[in-house]
Amino acid sequence: MPRVKSKRRQQIEHLVLVPLDWVEERSGWVGGVKYFLFRKVPHDSNWFHTLGSATLTAFIVQAVTGVILAFYYKPSPDEAYGSIQNITNDLTLGWLVRGMHRWGASVFIILLFLHMGRVFLFGAYKYPREMNWLIGVLLLVLAMLEGFTGYLLPWDQTAYWATVVGINLNATAPAAAPFLFDFLRGGAEIGENTLSIFYSMHMLLIPGGLITLIGLHLYLVVHLGITSPPWSKDAPGLDREEVVTARRGLVEPRPRGNGSEPVR
């Protein structure tokens, strides 16, 4: 016999379902989110597979705390240091938000490397996921640049001199060195323009790139599915028949000796 729902429950379901149905009918988003959340993953996926989502979580924390900091930070040499002191000492929970953003930057980079290490050790970069690996490499470069540009913003002695070192390192790059050196400094020496350039890269350009690439990365994760661990019979690469194309090379591999020995 079907269970009779109480009036209250029916009211609650109505309240939740009507807006959801409204959105679904007009956009198909609810179905999309359901597909994303309930899609099939390998039966032997494990904790190592959570490192990508952990990296994503760290990125979201950086984005949220960064937006809050941007409400109060002043990107000019005269005011930057003072505004950071104000955030840390005077604003309600400012110390917490700043601390989360500062330490979260390291957490983000560490998780990024752990995730990349897991992908490498599991062979998850192999066919057909090479493109997602390449997108990952770009994400790694952008994440490092985000850290580099953010480090200058407190405009204290550590920030200033670390940036001097960073910019001088760029000046040793092959071919692009003079361009990089001038572009990053924004003038003859590190000062007002450098801070503006670093701030706009840290706030707009690099996060924009990161968000776009993370979107593509996740699209490919959903599109291709995730891989099983290397010890699984479904590990990447094992399901492909070896296809011999074109030349094999000058020397053909053949058994040692005269071929009559038992195979070891």
Interface residues with ligand HEM (CB under 6 A)?
49, 51-53, 55-56, 59, 112, 115-116, 119, 124-125, 129, 132-133, 136-137, 139-140, 214, 217, 221, 226-227
Sign of the Cα pseudo-torsion (151, 157, 161, 162, in order): negative
Which residue, 98 or 129, is less far from ligand HEM as judged by CB? 129
User: In the complex, which residue's CB is closest to ligand HEM?
Assistant: 136
Distances (CA, A) of 60 to 56, 64, 130, 165, 193: 6, 6, 25, 29, 29
Nearest distance from C-beta of residue 32 to ligand HEM, angstroms: 16
Rounded Cα gap, residues 118 and 42, in angstroms: 16
Which residue, 55 or 194, is less far from ligand HEM as judged by CB? 55
Which residue, 122 or 155, is less far from ligand HEM as judged by CB? 122
Tracing tokens 């490092």 back to the chain, one arrives at 144
Rounded Cα gap, residues 63 and 44, in angstroms: 32
C-beta neighbour count of 59 within 10 angstroms: 21
Which residue, 118 or 185, is less far from ligand HEM as judged by CB? 118
Rounded Cα gap, residues 56 and 59, in angstroms: 5
Nearest distance from C-beta of residue 65 to ligand HEM, angstroms: 16
Nearest distance from C-beta of residue 56 to ligand HEM, angstroms: 4
Nearest distance from C-beta of residue 221 to ligand HEM, angstroms: 4
Which secondary-structure segment (H or E) carries 7? helix 7-27
Which residue, 49 or 185, is less far from ligand HEM as judged by CB? 49
Which residue, 83 or 227, is less far from ligand HEM as judged by CB? 227
Rounded Cα gap, residues 200 and 152, in angstroms: 12
Comparing C-alpha atoms, which of 245, 243, 50, 236 is closest to residue 129? 236
Nearest distance from C-beta of residue 115 to ligand HEM, angstroms: 5
Distances (CA, A) of 35 to 9, 40, 77, 214, 239: 26, 9, 49, 18, 26
Nearest distance from C-beta of residue 212 to ligand HEM, angstroms: 11
C-beta neighbour count of 65 within 10 angstroms: 19
Nearest distance from C-beta of residue 42 to ligand HEM, angstroms: 9
Which residue, 42 or 186, is less far from ligand HEM as judged by CB? 42
Rounded Cα gap, residues 41 and 55, in angstroms: 19
Nearest distance from C-beta of residue 263 to ligand HEM, angstroms: 35
Which residue, 55 or 163, is less far from ligand HEM as judged by CB? 55
